[in-house]
Amino acid sequence: MDPPKPFPILRLPFLAMEEVFKTMHPIEIIYFSMISKRAKTITKKKTFYLEYAIHFCVQKPLEIKIHGTNNLVSSHYLMTSDKQKDGKTLEDECDGFITRMVFKYSKDPVDEWKQLCKYVLEIFNKQTIDVLTVCMDVFVDQNVSIIDFLKANVKSVNECNLFQLGENNNVDEHAKYLLENIKITNKVISWLHIKNGDFAGKFPKNLKELYLLHSEWMGYEKLLEIDSVQVILGGNGISNMGWNSFIKKWIAMETHLNLELLDIDFKSLEQFRALVLYDIPHDVVDGSVKRVLKT
């Protein structure tokens, strides 16, 4: 049996070539673009990449995720320090959703990750990324350089996830630096254990969602700085009097004009009503009753 002949993709008409590209998963497209300068030029001209979602992960292993059209295929490129995994590929399918993982060995994973991030942004014509996930205590000595790299190459981030592996590790300074230098436009989710009650980091303005899962450090003044449609706090250091004052200001539209949902951790609804809402008119909604807003 004769071996299969090479398929001349670059000689196809534009529309036919476009359809061939749509059958390729993102990592295949990246590899194809590396064949030659012409292949790279043609690859960059495709328009359907706008539907791709880009996710940069600063963790171990460093990772780049590219979610394809309709999120049906997700390609993960992982930097590994294990030589035995170099070039290894894994594929998993669940409910029609396919995840493909490719491992790349590197002696300097941070630098290679940066270079690949730049290449992905170039090939897929992206100036913004959909998700940035950062583990703040994994690359402590390189956090600043990674943040500087992202600031220089990424115009904005739609969603930012921040976490740490060691609860006792102090990540305050680098968390502050990230918030100052990365433009986040829509959503912040933080599992960080901030140590300083006077944390100087400023959360982005005009957010849609802000989740602070370990927010025991947060005081009244820091609460007033928040600007988000939805705010979920896993804890806080705000007094009952402080909450009473805040809710009155909110009702009077003196603060947090964008805020539509506030979820806070309190011992019980009864205590919250007695200690915070005692002089604020309010209704208690029966959770079992479904209400439908008609416009």
User: Does 6 or 152 have the greater pLDDT score?
Assistant: 152
Task: Determine phi and psi for 15, rounding to 5 degrees.
Answer: -65, -40
Least confident of 70-74, 87-91, 228-232, 251-255: 70-74
Rounded distance, CA 151 to CA 183, Å? 8
Q: How far apart, in whole angstroms, are the C-alpha atoms of residue 175 and residue 136? A: 7
The pLDDT score that the predictor gives to residue 295 is 38
- Tell me which residue has tokens 């993982």: 101
Is the pLDDT at 54 greater than 90? The verdict is yes
Among 4-8, 91-95, 205-209, 235-239, where is mean pLDDT lowest? 4-8
Domain residue extents for the chain: 51-275
What is the C-alpha to C-alpha distance for residues 132 and 138, in angstroms, rounded to an integer? 15
- For the stretch 72-121, pLDDT in tens is 778 899 998 888 888 888 888 888 788 889 999 999 999 999 999 999 99
The CATH number that domain 51-275 falls under is: 3.80.10
Round to whole Å and give the CA distance between 251 and 54: 39
CB atoms inside a 10 Å sphere around CB 274: 11
Handedness of CA 144, 146, 147, 152 (dihedral sign): positive
Coil/strand/helix, residue 221: helix
What are 291's two structure tokens?
A: 């209400």
- pLDDT tens per residue, range 12-45: 666 666 666 676 778 788 887 888 888 788 777 7
d(CA 261, CA 259): 6
Phi/psi of residue 137, nearest 5 degrees: -115, 25
Residue 48: how many other CB atoms lie within 10 Å = 12
